[in-house]
Copies of this chain bind each other. A is one copy, B any other.
Amino acid sequence: MQIALLGGTGDIGEGFAVRFSRDTEHDVIVGSRTAEKAANAAESYIETLDDHGVDATVADAENPEAARRGDVVILSVPAYYLSDTIEAVADNLGDAVLVSPAVGMQRDEDGLHYNRPGAGSVAQLAAEAAPAGTPVVGAFQNLAAAKLANLDADMDWDVPVTGDDPEAKATVMELADEVEGLRSLDAGGLANSTEIESLTPLLINLAANNDGLHDLGVKFW
């Protein structure tokens, strides 16, 4: 399977690239708005993987080309770039599975808060922006990017997954389960993404307010 990381040059993109490359048989394509940034990031991820004894290829391309090649296309961009990013690749998505890991947040004096989009959630916003026929799945919103990108760090986290297309959701759940230390959970339809995205600012607030806690994820039991 080809996994395209749109905006894959950022923190969360790095985490996806190195974990998928190390733990799965799938091919990773780092996408960016410029070919140069994509190539630089891919080179850096290959070095990181090599440092950890993993001989992996990481491809690179501009976002539209990455989207064209992806079976799974992950929107590894901040929430406020989401619609523009989808628009720029819409003609190339076909029936790829589009994955939304982004969360909109805003800070006030108490800490971070979930900034709920009018669509209900970022995942639903992605579904509104996506072309008809491209299924959208919400996943990976609660992963601490720095820890995900650190191959020396052990994770033991749950990944709640939402979607209205059962096959697309199953594809993403299997992908998550292939990553060491992640367990996918079925969280129902795409409209249930709201409460999953809301969890991310809570994780950040908890890390900010409690000594010894940082880069938090979540486990349900």
Give the B-binding residues of A (Cβ under 8 A): 108-111, 113-114, 156, 160, 185-192, 194-196, 198-199, 201-203, 205-206, 208-210, 213, 216-221
Report Cα–Cα, A189/B107, bound state, in Å.
13
Q: Are B185 and A192 in contact (CB under 8 A)?
A: no
A213 contacts which chain B residues (CB < 8 A)?
A: 185, 220-221
Q: Are A187 and B199 in contact (CB under 8 A)?
A: no
Of the candidates B110, B192, B199, which one forms a contact with A110 in the assembled complex, judged by CB atoms under 8 Å apart?
A: B192
A188 touching B220 in the complex, CB below 8 Å, given contacts A198-B194, A198-B198, A199-B199: no
A209 contacts which chain B residues (CB < 8 A)?
A: 185-188
A192 contacts which chain B residues (CB < 8 A)?
A: 110-111, 113, 202, 205
A198 contacts which chain B residues (CB < 8 A)?
A: 114, 194-195, 198-199
A206 contacts which chain B residues (CB < 8 A)?
A: 160, 185-187, 220
Of the candidates B156, B188, B190, B195, which one forms a contact with A221 in the assembled complex, judged by CB atoms under 8 Å apart?
A: B156
Q: Are B216 and A218 in contact (CB under 8 A)?
A: no
Report Cα–Cα, A195/B216, bound state, in Å.
15
* Nearest CB of B to A82, in Å: 20
A111 touching B219 in the complex, CB below 8 Å, given contacts A199-B198, A199-B199: no
Instruction: List 9 tightest A-B contacts by C-beta distance, closest first.
Output: A110-B189, A195-B202, A198-B198, A186-B209, A110-B191, A219-B219, A111-B188, A195-B198, A216-B220
* Nearest CB of B to A34, in Å: 36
A110 contacts which chain B residues (CB < 8 A)?
A: 188-192
Of the candidates B114, B156, B221, which one forms a contact with A194 in the assembled complex, judged by CB atoms under 8 Å apart?
A: B114
A195 touching B199 in the complex, CB below 8 Å, given contacts A206-B160, A218-B219, A219-B218: yes
- New A-B pairs, 18, CB < 8 Å, besides A196-B202, A199-B199, A217-B221: A109-B189, A110-B190, A111-B188, A113-B191, A113-B192, A113-B195, A114-B198, A185-B209, A185-B213, A187-B205, A187-B206, A192-B202, A194-B198, A213-B220, A213-B221, A217-B220, A219-B220, A219-B221
